[in-house]
């Protein structure tokens, strides 16, 4: 049986290298957690500008 206090490193583009232990690695490798990888964020949705429909009276 291996060392129960083994640590792993994950490279993050924002925070650099992040160290995790066996327990955290088990959670990350679980299918329920891995399915979150398929979710994409919506970065930009163009909203059409509505033309001004009011008339200014002087």
pLDDT higher than threshold 60 for residue 3 = no
pLDDT higher than threshold 60 for residue 1 = no
d(C-alpha 10, C-alpha 15), whole Å? 10
Q: Against a cut of 0.85, is the pTM above it?
A: no
For residue range 11-26, list pLDDT tens digits in order: 999 999 999 999 999 9
At 17, list the tokens.
């290298």
pLDDT at position 50, please?
A: 56
pLDDT at position 36, please?
A: 85
Note the helical H segments in 1-58.
Answer: 22-29, 31-34
Overall average pLDDT of the 29-50 stretch:
77
Q: Which one-letter DSSP state was computed for residue 2?
A: -
Q: So where are the chain's domains?
A: 9-38
């Amino acid at each position: 049986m291996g060392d129960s206090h083994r640590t792993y490193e994950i490279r993050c583009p924002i925070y650099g290298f992040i160290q995790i232990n066996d327990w955290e690695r088990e959670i990350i490798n679980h299918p329920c957690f891995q399915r979150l990888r398929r979710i994409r964020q919506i970065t930009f949705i163009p909203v059409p500008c509505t033309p001004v429909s009011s008339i200014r009276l002087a």
